[in-house]
Chains A and B, each alone.
Chain A
Amino acid sequence: MKGGKSRMSTSRLNKRRNHWGYMFITPFFVVFALFGLYPIIYTFRLSFQRWNGFTPAINVGFQNWIRLMEDATFPLSLTNTVKIWLYDFIPQLGIALLLAMIFTFKKIHGMNLFRAVYYLPNLITAASIGLLFNILFNGDKSTINQLLMKLGLLNAPVAFYKSRAITQGISSYILWWMWFGYTMILIMAGITSIDSTLYEAAELDGCSTWQTFHLITMPLIRPTILYITITSIIGGIQIFDVPANLTNLAGDPQKAILTTSMYVYQQGFKNTALGYASMLSVMQFLIIAALSFIALNMILKRGTR
């Protein structure tokens, strides 16, 4: 009897059960709507408004966009961001590739220790790292000045944070320091997933190390490189924590490390121009979308050649 009953109502039971499926995914979508989607729509709407956070927002049409045309600081912040990102990303990818090759093709004693230590800086609070590098470099008697002079690399102390170029360089260096280990681990995972018979075949054919790298490894880890590049672009355009704590939120000296995200923060919360800041965020989003699209195309096109 039990069997007959259950067979009769199986489809109804399944239907009832599948109602539970909706219940399980509901909390995600409710909270996503509130704290994920709504803020996006809100930001977009605010980009056409003027709002100081206290009095009601006023529709101003494209006024914020017109203001952007006359704003020299936005392109400056964008150049800063791209510069800081590029001087971080190129060495990051280079060193990570080199390390990944060393670790996968040579027998290295203590590999796990090396790998673990290289990744460590990535876990540490970026705000603390910013402050740390501030006090390490700041002033004639700073620890780094003392260190470099003792090593004989400097004759006189350098005022690191008076120079725009050096301050940008330090920002890039910190980001490189925080991220090369992470990138290396991702590339290693990409290399390990390559079929080892390919390498055996290459060896039989008498390929040199460089040829093997160029003809087998590189093409096959292209998806990994693509993933790293696009996530790095997305993260790079939003650089905030490190430069904001390295000198000050204004990105001194002379806005050398004022990144786009810092400028959004400045406009929104120091200047209480929340509408204009929203518009800058929308611009940031468009730039990320465009750059990701270009990177995707470049890397995929190379793959089909």
Chain B
Amino acid sequence: MKRFGAIVTYAFLLLLLVISILPFYLVLINSTYTSIDIVTKLKFVPGAMFLENYHKLQELTNIWRGFANSMIVSIPFVLFSCYFGAFSGFGFAKFKIKGKNILFSIVLASMMLPSQLSIIGFYATSLKLGLLNTFWPLILPGIANASAVFFLRGIIEQSVPDSLLEAARMEGCSELTIFNRFVLPCITPGVATIGIFNFVSSWNNYLGPLIILSDAKKFTMPILISTIRGIFLSNYGAMYVAIAISMFPVIIVYGFLSRYIINGLTIGAEK
């Protein structure tokens, strides 16, 4: 009876495992067949047409340009959110500030407030600033990333001792030097965690670039992907290659960092 229960449990877990992986597996397989093969036979082993499909894809679009654009947006966004998240976190954690509680509740409120609801205002603001069709409206908000501030403030409170700051002050270091030279190195693991999550969210951002970017040369990966069906119609092989290129870098990185990422997930819930 106990044995039977264990078999049912594992069967259930394996079924969910297959459900989770199957779509990715189908991308991998289908990207290696011609469009005609894809619609005539079901296949579970890779074929040999990947490069052919890839060339077809590159004939009509430049997928690596989208890749590069996504990098140009996501990397500075992450650097800003990490540096300034720690910057404000340090201010909140280690200094006396009048109205600190109110200011910090603004940070918390902005964390809960979905930015998507002010998307029209965001568009209008970018228009006023002359920043439409540039990457800036997608990068600069990294400076005001509330979850980074919230999370790194906690880490700084926990892991940066006041005695270290005092010692550095006695040495005559300015507060800015103290931050750069002593505080930042103390909190690298926390910075890395929030950096990974912010990278993923910036990389996957769809609505922001959709309303800000109009020039096809500036399209980020998700926008490029969403235009692909209109370009390739029923050229499934090429579309699967595009999907594969957009998915597999993330899957590979996750393969190395999965434990780290999963541990970082519960940050938001532990409030």
Contact = CB atoms under 8 A, between A and B. Distances in A.
Interface of A: 14, 17-18, 20-25, 27-32, 34-36, 38-44, 46, 51, 53, 95, 99, 102, 106, 108, 112, 114-121, 123-136, 139, 141-143, 146-147, 150, 177, 181-182, 185-186, 189-190, 224, 227-228, 231, 234-235, 238, 240-241, 244-245, 261, 264-265, 268-269, 274, 277-278, 281-282, 284-285, 288
Given A112-B259, A121-B20, A238-B114, A143 B97 contact: no
Given A29-B103, A234-B112, A39 B118 contact: yes
Of listed B30, B84, B92, B125, residue having the most chain A CB within 10 A: B125
B202 to A, nearest CB: 11
A150 B42 contact: yes
B134 interface: no
Interface string B31-63: 000000011111000000000000000000000
Given A123-B200, A227-B269, A18 B42 contact: no
A128 B221 CA distance: 9
Nearest to A118: B20
Interface in B61-116: 84, 87-88, 90-92, 94-97, 103, 106-107, 110, 112-116
A116 B95 contact: no
Interface of B: 9-10, 13, 16-17, 19-21, 23-24, 26-27, 30, 38-42, 84, 87-88, 90-92, 94-97, 103, 106-107, 110, 112-125, 127, 137, 140-141, 143-144, 146, 149, 169, 175, 179, 200, 203-204, 206-207, 210-211, 221-223, 225-226, 228-229, 236, 239-240, 243, 246-247, 250-251, 254, 258-259, 261-262, 265-266, 268-271
B262 to A, nearest CB: 6
Contacts of B270: 189
A38 B107 CA distance: 15
